[in-house]
Structure 1
Amino acid sequence: MLKEERFRIILEKLSKDQKVTLKSLSKQLKISEYTVRRDLKELTDQGLLKAVRGGAIPHSPTPHHFADRLDYKTDAKKVIAEKALSLLHNGQVVAFDGGTTAMAIASILPRDLQITVVTNSFPVVNVLESHPAIEVLFAGGRLYKAAFTSIGHNAINFFNSIRADIFFMGICSIHPTIGVTTINYEESQVKKAVAEVSKKVVALSPHERINTAEAYFICDSSKVDVIITDEEGKAMAEDSFKGSGITIM
């Protein structure tokens, strides 16, 4: 069997099952596990999957640039944002990161809600600029142009001085054993810092980002208290994170 044909079969199986194992692929393709491992490494290098111990899982299909994500899965973001409102009440300090789902929450905050928002997201600041009752604290730093957020030491130092009640963390990828990951190293460091200083970490994750992984680690899934997902993702998350103590909404 040609290598290109093996690649096609691997990617088809991955798309169908959301994971592949060395053993099952070796049996199906009638090749050694060593050859399968080499194929998975090549597919990982091409950015088509994420090789993990014993097999592979998908990358998140989410577009990487903020502008491309604005009109992506808007119905799912609306569902997630409306669920998130139930976690908010007056007097809280709430951290928002730079995800478009976090921005969707900011855009529907009730006009009488009195909270303090801490964020490194220019779009979140823009949305809340006219809110009459919300105080906004912005983390300075270097602009990460793909996400319209501030990153770097200044942003991290800012968040290290905060103790947030809730962190609404936009998710690129979340997996029960690999944890929460993203595509940019400096972004991962800021998100990690915010998660460390927050009493409750709320992962905002449409279904296609569940059971996927990227290169840069943010935190273990055990650090997450709540996963808010769309209706299609709820059963998937409940199955994947069963027994973890994570609340699924």
Structure 2
Amino acid sequence: MSSKTVDKALQVLDMFTLEHPKWGLRELSRALDMSHTIVHRMLTTLEERGYVYRSVDTQKYELGIKFLELSNIVEQHFQISEIIHPIMHKIASETGESVVMTLLDNEEGVFSKIVESSRLVRFAGSVGRRSPLYIGASHKVILCHLPKDIQRRIVHEGAVQHPGLIPSETDMLEKLEDIERKRWAYSSGETISDVAAVSIPLFDYGNMVLGSLSIAGPSYRLTEEVAEHILPDLIRHRGELDSVLSKVCFPTRRNYLLESLH
């Protein structure tokens, strides 16, 4: 199989997201700007291997059970959830809010683990959700620890794509410097409407930024004042998490972002 064929197959798979988990053949061909015949051939092969399946009722394609198998392999390889979950659960119990672990993958932050609050009104995010690094505390606290040239490029691209979120590139870069200095960030209504978060960075075995840990909840309840009050609950458990993360190598796409730090 040629590299171009593999790349096209991966482009097809990348189209299946939380926001758009189902695709019709022609709809997917148009979105990818690929030949209907090529996409059909890709989907047929992927379906045969269990990576996608076609619903009999809707005739639309969805991700298949193979990805569940693969995710279980990754989970078993890490054996990390059973260690991290109790720490996150402890923070959630102490603060009464949800706790979210976000990982850096390529130039996005991905919600990788969520321990929900026991309250009736709570954080409504879902595992697997991706967001640009210039949106929300959980992502900005990652972005501020990337090389400066990459920060500037990501902020510039964000200003072009979402000028309402970044009216001034200079102000955003100054804010990132402030977050890096404080080593925590707060935001309200950025990543998810009516949701606020206070976040701290997480680092891997090489002391390179891996992701972030956040306390998240409704904006009316998790004000900035309240966030500063409960921030010590996050910081107090940093040592426990660091001792775990320093021994783990996560297979996220970070190398090209971080190689200039060496």
TM-score range, shorter-chain basis? under 0.3
Greater fraction strand: 1
Greater fraction helix: 2
